[in-house]
Amino acid sequence: MTDPAQENTQQFSFKAETKQLLNILIHSLYKDREVFLRELLSNASDALNRLRFEMVTNQNVVDPKAELSIQITADKDTRMLTIQDTGIGMTRDEIIENLGTIAQSGARKFMEATKDKKVDFSQVIGQFGVGFYSVFMVAEWVSVTSRSYRPEAEAVTWYATGEDNYQVSAAAMSERGTKVQIKLKEDAAEFADEFRIKNIIHKHSDYIGFPIYVGDSKEPVNKQTSLWRTSRQEVTEEQYKDFYRQTTLEFDEPLMHIHMVTDAPVQLYALLYIPGKAERGLLSLRKEDGLKLYSRNILIDEYNKDLLPEYLRFVQGVVDSEDLPLNVSRETIQSSTLMMRLKKVLTNQVIRELETLAKNDAEKYQTFWQEFGGYIKHGVATNAAEAEQLNSLLRFKTNLHPESWSSLEDYAGRIKEGQKHIYYIVGEDPKSVLRSPHLDYFASRGTEVLLLTDPMDSFMLMGLRKYKDYELQNVAQAEIDTSEKPKEQAEAEKIPEADFGALVERFKQVLGERVTDVRASNRLSQSVARLVDPEGALNPELQRVYKYLGKEYEVPKKVLELNPTHKILKSLLKLDSGSDLQTAIIEQIYDSALLVEGLHPDPSSMAPRMQQIIEAALANMREDSK
Ligand code: ADP
Ligand code: MG
């Protein structure tokens, strides 16, 4: 006699990586074995969520009236534990795919991640798409019997002991959903104890949005409200962090969370997080940016990008609104006025919370700024609706406070009597920018200048023209506020006019087309020369933007301004006019000016000339000492 079930049984072999993973799980002694229950309940909850989503549009399912719930039964004597849900279920093909084949890449990644023991295994197994296998930490064998919601599908059983193979056979189950039966190992008998089970649920799965029943009790064990719908007072820091890890698939702690509940102008719950780092962990499995969007507890979008502006795309978390209609397509949701309102409310809240953070915890805000400042600048650059508010989030280093971060408000508070502008200088890095000749004049007067050395700064400036009543002005612009008269340079120190005129001619000869003019400047004190923009030039920020964008980049033609009191120029006059050395020094003065502007296209090209100048200087010394 042949058993019809037997006849239907098919044997499969796990893939190599999955075998390895199972082997580790079976033989290692993990102290947090209880997390297997969290993983199975999370799968049941996913399955219920998916069914609920399906039923929004399709009532033609098995058991349409069945309660969406999870039932756990346990028997200490036989060490059997059963977890049954009324979720979406699996067909034969799906069960093979989901529990047999596809897990292998996740298995490999998981093993890599936990190899160095730095990552807590029990925290993260669920993040690799292999959470189900954690059951083999406690199971002698597992059988999963499932009946898909599709009326035509047939029930199926998957069975494995954690060794190399698993079996799939036809099953007799009339009700929709999935039943996971576990024969517990001898040393895992504790998990057949109802009291222990309830404790684990409270600890790890309290917020699952479907009732979990244990044993004969008609009372659900779990709270059921999702964390974001729970009032702030009831949620602990630990729960916020846990939730972050579970929803964002990050291992690190978040920098901060924003938990909001509003009724007007829209009804919404949101639990948002600012991650600890801008870059996602190397092992992070999160595929995209975006927020999880729920409506009435149903997940309608995993990675929604329309709820926050582009420049806040680093924010992660969940948004849930009762006002969103369920039975419309994602495209319609996207463009609805409700979405716009949600976006506005969320954006304002995030900015407000960041302002508060800046006020209350400067150190944490600094971390935020270092990680995410570029995003905020992006917001300013794109002239976001919130640009004004965003300005208050900006932080700068300045020539007077090069080590700390100042806000525009700080700057404005320190501004001197009569100063009408906020000055800034753009350059490559904070050190070299401090040596810029453009700062000479400001340094001598003790005027504060913002140091803008981040590539994003040039973009930001396109949207940041003014703060309060102060217009922003680049110190490299030839004509600065004329009302602020520079100190008169001592006439006696200047090179006589006729000599200076000859020198200017030499410069023009040597530099030719590369400069639009050469002239004297009364703004320089320490520096020998500087480059300024001719009238009507493309503004310097834009020049840099082009450079960063990798657009065809030509060194912009500028005016070379010379310091008529400078020693170098005086010595230069003493050299034979037209000599190689004089020419080399003129070239070098121009190149150095380009360099401090951050505009030199090929700095290493200066090396041979420097050598020439050094050789000449040394030869000169020998001559002097003769
Ligand atoms: P993940 O949940 O991250 O996808 P798991 O290893 O926990 O990874 O589960 C693998 C897959 O098995 C799930 O994605 C799902 O398709 C399927 N599955 C597991 N448990 C159930 C269940 N109770 N009901 C329906 N499908 C399930
Ligand atoms: Mg899972």
CA-proximal residue: ligand 1, atom 13 (nearest): 98
Q: Residue 376: inside a domain, yes or no?
A: yes
pLDDT at residue 550 is higher than 50: yes
Angle between helix axes 362-381 and 455-463 (nearest 10 degrees) is 60
Range among 161-165, 279-283, 433-437 with highest mean pLDDT value: 161-165
One domain for residues 206 and 60: yes
Residue 250 Cβ < 6 Å to ligand 1: no
In the sheet with 449-452, reading across from the earlier edge strand, the strands are 397-398, 449-452, 421-426, 470-474, 466-467
If one compares 295 and 67, the residue with the highest pLDDT of the two is 67
Of 308, 341, 360, the position where a domain reaches its end is 360
As given in the structure block, the two tokens for residue 326 are 């369920």
In short, whether 156's Cβ falls inside 6 Å of ligand 1 is: no
pLDDT mean over 605-619: 88
Report pLDDT digits (tens) over 427-453: 878 788 888 888 988 888 899 999 999
Give the 3-state DSSP-derived string for 482-518, with helices as H, strands as E and coil as C.
CCCCCCCCCHHHCCCHHHHHHHHHHHHHHHHHHEEEE
Which ligand 1 atom minimizes the distance to the CA of 177?
24
35 Cβ below 6 A of ligand 1: no
Ligand 1 atom nearest 43 alpha carbon? 20
Q: Are residues 252 and 306 in the same domain?
A: yes
Which pLDDT band holds residue 2 (cuts at 50, 70, 90)? very low
Q: For 26-65, how does the pLDDT look when each residue is reduced to its tens digit (9 = 90+)?
A: 887 677 899 899 999 999 999 999 999 899 889 999 999 9
Domain identity same for 238 and 288: yes
Domain of residue 243: give its range: 227-360
Rounded distance from Cα 330 to ligand 2 centre (Å): 25
Identify the band that residue 184 occupies on the pLDDT scale cut at 50, 70 and 90. Answer: very high
Q: What average pLDDT does this structure show over 472-492?
A: 64
d(CA 398, CA 606): 30
The DSSP H or E segment spanning 618 is: helix 607-625
Average pLDDT of the residues in 302-321:
92
Considering the domain boundaries, does residue 105 fall inside one? Answer: yes
With CA atoms as reference, report the closest residue to 12 among 74, 111, 96: 96
Which of 204-208, 471-475, 551-555 shows the highest mean pLDDT? 471-475
Among 31-45, 176-190, 243-257, 493-507, the range scoring the smallest mean pLDDT is 243-257
Tell me: do 455 and 506 sit in the same domain. no
Which residues neighbour 392 within 8 Å (Cβ) at sequence distance 6 or greater? 355, 358, 407, 408, 409
Residue 129 lies in a domain: yes
Number of domains in the chain: 4
Question: Counting atoms of ligand 1 from 1, which one is nearest the CA of 128?
Answer: 3
Q: Whose CA is nearest to atom 10 of ligand 1?
A: 98
Closest by CA position to 585, among listed 565, 602, 597, 567? 567
Which residues are paired to 144 by β-bridges?
158, 180
Mean pLDDT calculated for residue range 506-510: 95
**CB of residue 87 inside a 6 A radius of ligand 1:** yes
Span 87-103, pLDDT tens digits: 999 999 999 999 988 76
pLDDT at 537: 64
User: Look-up: residue for tokens 């005016």?
Assistant: 559
Do residues 186 and 38 share a domain? Answer: yes
| Tokens encoding 38 | 């969290």
For residues 187 and 269, state if they share a domain: no
Which pLDDT does position 395 carry in this prediction? 97
- What CA–CA distance (Å, rounded) separates 577 from 592? 21
In this structure, the answer to whether residues 203 and 259 fall within a common structural domain is no
Give the dihedral sign, CA 259/265/268/272. Answer: negative
Mention every residue, 6+ apart, whose C-beta is less than 8 A from residue 156: 90, 91, 92, 95, 145, 146, 147, 168, 169, 170, 171
**pLDDT tier for residue 116 given thresholds of 50, 70 and 90:** low
Q: Is residue 402 part of a domain?
A: yes
Residue 329 vs residue 272, higher pLDDT = 272
Ligand nearest to the CA of 134: 1
Domain termination residue (choose one: 330, 360, 390):
360
Sheet-wide strand order for 268-274: 256-262, 268-274, 316-320, 291-295, 298-304
Residues less than 5 Å from ion ligand 2, measured at CB: 43, 131
Could you identify the atom of ligand 1 that is nearest to the CA of residue 44? Answer: 23
At residue 5, does pLDDT exceed 60? Answer: no
C-alpha 98 – ligand 1 centre gap (Å): 6
Give the strand pairing for 291-295 and 316-320: parallel
Q: What's the pTM value of the predicted model, to 2 decimals?
A: 0.71
Q: Is 569 in the pocket of ligand 1 (CB under 6 A)?
A: no
Whether residues 448 and 552 share a domain: the answer is no
On the question of pLDDT at 542 being above 50, the answer is yes
The arithmetic mean of pLDDT across residues 189-218, rounded, is 93
416: domain CATH number? 3.40.50.11260
Residue 454 has pLDDT above 50, yes or no: yes
Best of 17, 41, 43 for a ligand 1 pocket test (most atoms within 8 Å of beta carbon): 43
Distance of CA 246 from the midpoint of ligand 2 (Å)? 11
The alpha carbon of 470 is separated from its chain's Cα centroid by a whole number of angstroms, namely 32
Read off the pLDDT of residues 380-397 as tens digits, 9 standing for 90 and up: 998 778 888 999 999 999
In this model, does residue 512 exceed pLDDT 90?
yes
- The CB of 85 under 6 Å from ligand 1? The reply is yes
Q: Tell me which amino acid residue 52 is.
A: R
- Nearest Cα residue to 570 out of 626, 512, 492, 463: 492
Sheet strands side by side (includes 165-170): 10-13, 165-170, 156-160, 139-147, 177-184, 80-85, 70-75, 212-214
Beta bridge partners of 485: none
User: Among 424, 443, 474, which residue terminates a domain?
Assistant: 474
What is the pLDDT, as a whole number, of residue 29? 66
